[in-house]
């Protein structure tokens, strides 16, 4: 049974395998995303966090998901283009995945089990649920979709300071 985020492999948006062990020593923000959601403008705030903290050790990992209102219907190529053109996204994006149900990606099964949502529910409620992970790969905190990226600043800075 995997014990940290670093124990997982994923597929990047270009279809290539990526070990999350490559991010050892980095603070991670993992987000399930969608291009046609009322929360889609959060891409701008997430990119701003990346611009501000990347050089200090923050990596942001975006996982497109079409499970909520079918708000991410495009191909990986369409998703990547949309994110770059509309929000200037430069943080790593990954293959479209499922975050709930029997076909949920193993990474998200892990995230939900170690950081359940309100009332201990082990499901993702909507697009733009965010998980903050320390430099050792441990999930530290879960933020529900309505939490704006700017509201994560203090938590991110605290983890960056502790891993420096």
Give the residue numbers marked as catalytic: 37
Q: What phi, psi does 150 have (nearest 5°)? A: -60, -25
**Alpha-carbon span 72 to 64, nearest angstrom:** 7
**Alpha-carbon span 128 to 147, nearest angstrom:** 9
- Angle at CA of residue 91, ends 85 and 95, nearest 5°: 85
SS3 category, 73:
coil
Cβ atoms of 11 and 18 within 8 Å: the answer is yes
**Alpha-carbon span 121 to 18, nearest angstrom:** 29
Instruction: Find residue 114's DSSP bridge partners.
Output: none
Tokens at residue 29, please? 């923000």
């Amino acid at each position: 049974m995997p014990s940290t985020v670093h124990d997982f492999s994923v597929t990047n948006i270009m279809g290539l395998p990526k070990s999350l062990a490559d991010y050892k020593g980095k603070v991670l923000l993992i987000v399930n995303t969608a291009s046609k959601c009322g929360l889609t403008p959060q891409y701008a705030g997430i990119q701003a966090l990346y611009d501000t903290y990347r050089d200090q050790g923050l990596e942001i990992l975006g996982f497109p998901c079409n499970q909520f209102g079918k708000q991410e219907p495009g191909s990986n190529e369409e998703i990547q283009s949309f994110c770059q053109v509309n929000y200037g996204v430069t943080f790593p994006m990954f293959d479209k995945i499922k975050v709930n149900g029997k076909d949920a990606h193993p990474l998200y099964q892990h995230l939900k089990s170690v950081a359940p949502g309100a009332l201990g529910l082990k499901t993702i409620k909507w697009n733009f649920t965010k998980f903050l992970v320390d430099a050792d790969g441990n999930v530290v905190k879960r933020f529900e979709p309505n939490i704006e990226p700017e509201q994560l600043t203090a938590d991110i800075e605290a983890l960056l300071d502790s891993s420096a």
